[in-house]
Amino acid sequence: MKKILIIIGIIILIVIYNNEEKKYLTIPDEAIRYRIIPNSNSVEDITAKESIQKALEKDLKEIMNTSSIEETRNKIITNLDKIRKNIENTKNEINYDKNINIKYGLNYFPEKQYEGITYSEGYYESLVVEIGKAEGNNFWCVLFPPLCMMETENTEDVEYTFFLTDIINKLIK
C-alpha cells in the first residue's frame, strides 16, 4: 500500500512539474514568426486565409530549410516578391477581392495559448500577411527555429512541450 501511495505521489509531482514548465516555455529572442490574419471570421474570409496559407507552404518549407536565423532572414527577404506573386495568383484563382498587405520586420503578436504553452505578447521579428481589415482569427507559427507545420493533432500537451523544447534547444545553442 505504501508503494502505491509513493508511486501516486511521484506521478502527481511529475504532472505538477510539467504543467509549471509549460507556463514558462517561451520562443527564444532569436526567432522569426509567421502570421496570416484574415479579413474577418466569415466562411469566405477563413477559406481565403486557408487557401493562401496552403499556397505559401512550399515557399515556407524552402525558407525554413535553414540552419541559422541569418540564413532564414535572407531567404525571406529574397523570396518576398515570390510570396507576393504566389498570394496574388491564389487570390485570382479563388476569385477573392480583398487587399493583402505583406510585412516583414517587427510586428505585434498578442498573447497566445497553444498546446498548454503561453506565448507572450509583444513585437517580434516576423513575416505577417494581413488580408483586408485583418480582424479575423489568425494562423501563426515560427519560421526559425522551424516550428511551422508540425503535426500535433494526435499528441498530448506534455509530448508537444518536450518536442518544442528539444527543437529550440538544438537550434539556439
173 residues of the chain, pLDDT tens digit each: 666 656 665 677 676 656 554 454 566 778 899 999 999 999 999 999 999 999 998 888 888 888 899 999 999 999 999 999 999 999 999 999 999 999 999 999 888 776 667 778 899 999 999 999 999 999 888 888 887 754 444 444 444 444 444 555 555 45
The Cα 81–Cα 98 span in angstroms is 19
Range of the domain at 55: 29-172
Judge whether 17 lies within some domain: no
Judge whether 7 lies within some domain: no
The Cα 37–Cα 138 span in angstroms is 4
Provide the domain count of the chain: 1
Provide CB contacts within 8 A for 167, sequence distance 6+.
Answer: 145, 146, 147
Residue with cell 496559407: 53
Nearest residue to 94 (alpha-carbon basis) of 129, 40, 135, 53: 53
Beta strands in the chain (DSSP E): 32-37, 100-109, 112-114, 117-119, 122-131, 139-144
Judge whether 8 lies within some domain: no
**pTM over cut 0.85:** no
